[in-house]
Structure 1
């Protein structure tokens, strides 16, 4: 049984890059160092070792945009090829892309690896540029869907997502996406890579922004549910941090946490809503946000 690991120590990365050079660059007579590029710091890396501790497979994924991830540098030691290790690596990197909010994943495949990616649901699109003078590559694309994602009123959810991006552009740069809306619960997620600090954890300010936008979004959707309209502004917000976020930033707002009435908007009066947002790292609760929002009647 082989296990997929994330390189973390300096020694891990030294061995990881040495293996990548040996498999993907040395055969083309390129010097050591040519196996690296400008995306290393913003990529997620994976590696596999044999029982003796030797690296036998590596792979990487990075985000090209908020919606597109790219898999690169898949390599498996010749003696271990044909054992399904490449498929395990690609599946692991695909899971990372899904968690980052990607809706499609691409790769520039050599002719030899086209069968691998085809077997995993990738489809050939067009020719891709040669890399360092290597053989011609084929761009392959796979659309990603999340079977756990539930979007009640998808048009409203799409409008909310576009409203965030249009009025608060940094939300797109942070990779904040609406993940689930059931009518009673709103879940949003953010990209850890796009909000990571020098300690390898999520910026506290990014966590606060994720929580605030989730609460704002819940009120936005509740206004739609009731056929009302108004300008939503944050009046006060407090957050208590318990643990750092190191994996998957998630925010949950349940309708039961909302206190206040929206009906005064019908009489052209402002109203106040208090709510709570739970912040999770994967499945672990790490922070709680409590906010006071004002909803102001829209002026003609």
Structure 2
């Protein structure tokens, strides 16, 4: 799936992503990057709205799960089970979320859990950047089940 195809998929399946104007910059099984313009995602102080930051990061982690497991488990439902966000700096312009997942052992553990119980989880780290400044960091556990 190309980045544009994934953006189109998000707009169809998760309507909020269209309102936020999320764009997919990278869509691979090891690296996801999603970006949004500030204007539709700002607060009354003209900085990044916390809800938009949280949503972008949540969707970024969800996208990582989707990139890795959609073909293996097309019937699997992906949800965020828990998350913790630390806001580190104000967002003053367009921003992006990035998620890297190169831990093959963790992916294999999810696959083994799926084979045994038709469910599994993966913990991901998602970082939000405004330019090169790290603005927020999320630790989240995503769950896939039938």
Task: Report the TM range for the smaller structure's normalisation.
Answer: 0.7 to 0.9
Q: Deviations over 1:115-149 (max 9, x none)?
A: xxxxxxxxxxxxxxxxxxxxxxxxxxxxxxxxxxx
TM-score, with length taken from structure 2:
0.86
Equivalent position of 2:18 in the other structure? 172
Give the 3 Å change call, closer, same or farther, for CA 220–286 of structure 1 in structure 2: same
Partners of 1:257 and 1:276 within 8 A in 2 = no
Equivalent position of 1:46 in the other structure? none
1:228 aligns with 2:73: yes
Question: How many Å separate the matches in 2 of 1:283 and 1:181?
Answer: 20
How many aligned residue pairs are there? 142
Equivalent position of 2:110 in the other structure? 262
1:284 aligns with 2:133: yes
Deviation at residue 266 of structure 1 after TM alignment? 3.8
Deviation at residue 275 of structure 1 after TM alignment? 0.4
Aligned residue runs from structure 1 range 73-222, under 5 A: 153-154=1-2, 157-222=3-68
Partners of 1:179 and 1:188 within 8 A in 2 = yes
Question: How many Å separate the matches in 2 of 1:266 and 1:177?
Answer: 33
Deviation at residue 269 of structure 1 after TM alignment? 1.2
If asked which structure has higher relative contact order (CA below 8 Å, sep 6+), I would say 2
Secondary structure in structure 2 of the residue aligned to 1:256: coil
Deviation at residue 237 of structure 1 after TM alignment? 1.1
Question: How many Å separate the matches in 2 of 1:161 and 1:204?
Answer: 22
Partners of 1:190 and 1:250 within 8 A in 2 = yes
Q: 2:92 aligns with which of 246, 257, 276?
A: 246
Q: Deviations over 1:168-192 (max 9, x none)?
A: 2111011111111344211110111
Deviation at residue 167 of structure 1 after TM alignment? 2.7
Q: Deviations over 1:190-222 (max 9, x none)?
A: 111111111110100100000000000011001
Partners of 2:29 and 2:64 within 8 A in 1 = no
Partners of 1:202 and 1:245 within 8 A in 2 = yes
Give the 3 Å change call, closer, same or farther, for CA 175–191 of structure 1 in structure 2: same
Q: Which runs of 5+ in 2 are unaligned?
A: none
Deviation at residue 228 of structure 1 after TM alignment? 2.8
Rg bigger for which structure? 1
Q: Which runs of 4+ in 1 moved over 6 A?
A: none
Deviation at residue 271 of structure 1 after TM alignment? 0.4
